[in-house]
Amino acid sequence: MSLIGARNVVSVVGLLLWASGTMAASLVSPVRRAAPPVPPALFRAAKAARTAAEQAGEESLFAGLPVSPLSSYTPPACVPGVPFSDVTCTTFFDPYIEQLFRDGITTGCGGGMYCPSAPVTRDQMALFVEHAIRGTGSWPPHIVTVYHREAAEPDSNANSGAELISMVAAIPSSGDEAPGQGNPWLVRLGPGIYDLGTSTLQLPAYVSLEGAGEDSTAIEASGYSLSGYGTLMLSGISDVHDIGVYNLGGNTYDIAIVVAGSDNQLVHVTAIGTSSSDATGTAVGIYAGSGSDVTVKGSRVFTTVQVALNTYGVESVGSVVGISDTAISAGGASASGASYGAYCSGGALSVTNGTTIEVSDGAQPVGIHIDGTVGTNIIRDSLINVFDNNTIGALDLDGGDAILQDDDLYSYKNAVRTSGSASIEINNSRVVGLTTWITNGAGATAKAGASLLSGTTNNAGTLTCGGNYSSSYAPLGNACP
């Protein structure tokens, strides 16, 4: 990344405003985005305009989606670098590569690459064709298809939710047909809203969920009194894609998606946790529990509260979470509460590939909080933007290790805070705080190189700077601001 190059509009506009001394009044407000309205209202408006014949046509079309390699279909939307780093989504063929990977027909050429221009030998072709004809451990799965059913009462979709829960509950838990490593299942949902009421949808291990598009298919439910319960709950080895998942609030914990077990993946998913009616409550978009892991790609996560205490976009407790090409927004926490874009405690976190995190409200809004983690946390090629009275930091590192590479961090007050035995490396990034670019605690170690640093320094630990620049692009050499 070139320091002077325009990686994004926010960075360029912000730096010009800082140089002119008007950042406080003008920087964040123009780019601040409120959390969107709850999408089911939009779905209902669109649904009301469809005739019965159109609805039947949609159901018929959805029923014709393929269950064999010989059927015609529309491949998944391509995300650059997902799942292979050399797939750029610039050719007609790229979306089909992701589908081959999902189906287990190919794992690429090694090193996370697909090698799309490399020739295929006859022995390699034999493996491709055999997998496509006879299937693999990942494909074709057992497929359960659920359609959105109109209820007798206007805007009531409870029957669709009940049908969905019933069909998932009917998946056998033992015997030859039970989901397993060589026997995966897929639950496919047609367009519409699947209202679970006060229930939750629990996917067994080795069962995946597919919608007709995150703006076309949604499941929704109310809040819960117990942490670890959400609208959608994953048990492991699950791939959820092209769907919206909403928790509409109303209790102590309002969580959209709860992740348990290993090898979970969310692709093109919108997860929204809305306000709680409990003044001590919490809203969460995605919650990953102890011992679990999840990859979030090309998705949207929003949380907002009105009377609740705390809000988390992604909350990870003792889990491994990877987030790429995803937009996260958290806000609305009470004056005594906190808003977090991503919160990781006791696990590991990576935030990469153009992810954006915007956080506001509460006593201490924080973009990313990391503590007590295992291994090095990676934040790369991402934007973290924190509004309001943030004295902790856009990045708060408490006792963990992290690397910032090619990132943009902006804060109304403090950009980075380290504490405990934390260690951080900042490379080729913009780190800007209206008051302080870093608060480096006693016992913490921080290194910054080839980066743009704006704000004062508050250092009680070990801090090393080299080859950095000020907000006006003046070379700082090895000095810290």
Condensed to tens digits (0 to 9), the pLDDT of residues 133-185 reads 556 655 556 788 887 766 554 545 567 888 899 889 989 999 888 998 878 89
- Asked if residue 200 is part of any domain, the answer here is no
162/151 Cα distance (integer angstroms)? 11
**Would you list the DSSP string of 203-255?**
EPTTEEEE-S-TTTEEEEE--BSSTT--SEEE-SS-EEEEEEEEE---SSEEE
Task: Flag whether 223 is in a domain.
Answer: no
* Residue 182 · residue 146 · CB < 8 Å: no
Which residue did the predictor score with more confidence, 102 or 324?
324
Are 316 and 464 contained in the same domain? yes
Domain co-membership, 322 together with 460: yes
pLDDT at 30: 30
**Spatial CB neighbours of 465, under 8 Å, sequence gap ≥ 6:** 447, 448, 449, 453, 476, 478, 479, 480
Same domain, 128 and 246: no
Say if 44 falls within a structural domain. no
Q: How confident is the model at residue 334, as a pLDDT? A: 83
Q: Which conformational region is residue 406 in: left (phi greater than 0), alpha (psi within -120 to 50 degrees), or beta?
A: left
Burial class (CB in 10 A: 0-12, 13-18, 19+), 230: buried
Q: What is the token pair recorded at 106?
A: 């190919």
On whether residue 118 sits in a domain, the answer given is yes
**Is 219 domain-assigned?**
no
**pLDDT recorded at residue 2:** 35
Count of alpha carbons within 13 Å of 222, Cβ hemisphere only?
11
Asked if 29 and 123 sit in the same domain, the reply is no
Considering the domain architecture, whether residues 28 and 76 belong to the same structural domain is answered as no
Q: Do 267 and 373 fall within a single domain?
A: yes
Closest CA to 192 of 35, 37, 36, 50: 50
* DSSP class of 111: T
List the beta bridge partners of residue 201: 232
113 falls within a domain? yes
Cα→Cα distances 295→141, 299, 324, 435, Å? 21, 10, 8, 35
Q: Are residues 461 and 337 in the same domain?
A: yes
**Domain-embedded: residue 376:** yes
Residue 281 has a pLDDT of 85
- The Cα 282–Cα 399 span in angstroms is 25
For the chain, what's the residue count?
A: 481
The one-character DSSP state at 406 is S
Max Cα distance, the chain (Å): 71
Domain boundary among 115, 134, 153: 134
Examine the fold and report which residue of 101, 134, 167 is the final residue of a domain before the chain moves on.
134
**Whether residues 32 and 82 fall in one domain:** no
Residue 395 and residue 290 share a domain: yes
**Whether the predicted pLDDT of 252 surpasses 50:** yes
Average pLDDT over residues 226-250: 93
Question: Does the residue 51 lie in any domain?
Answer: no
Categorize the per-residue pLDDT at 12 as very low, low, confident or very high, splitting at 50, 70 and 90.
very low
The residue type of 466 is G
* Whether 259 and 113 share a structural domain: no
Answer yes or no: are the C-beta atoms of 309 and 337 closer than 8 Å: yes
Residues paired with 189 in a beta bridge = 146
Q: Which residue has the higher pLDDT, 263 or 55?
A: 263
Final residue of a structural domain among 117, 134, 151: 134
Find the domain containing 402 and state its range: 9-38+232-477
Q: Closest Cα partner for 118 from 128, 109, 126? A: 109
Same domain, 26 and 128: no
Residues 276 and 391 in one domain: yes
Q: Please tell me which of 77-81, 131-135, 174-178, 296-300 the model is most confident about, judged by mean pLDDT.
A: 296-300
For residues 299-328, average pLDDT:
92
| Statement: residue 29 has pLDDT above 50 | no
> What total number of domains does the chain contain?
2
Q: Is the pLDDT of residue 5 over 90?
A: no
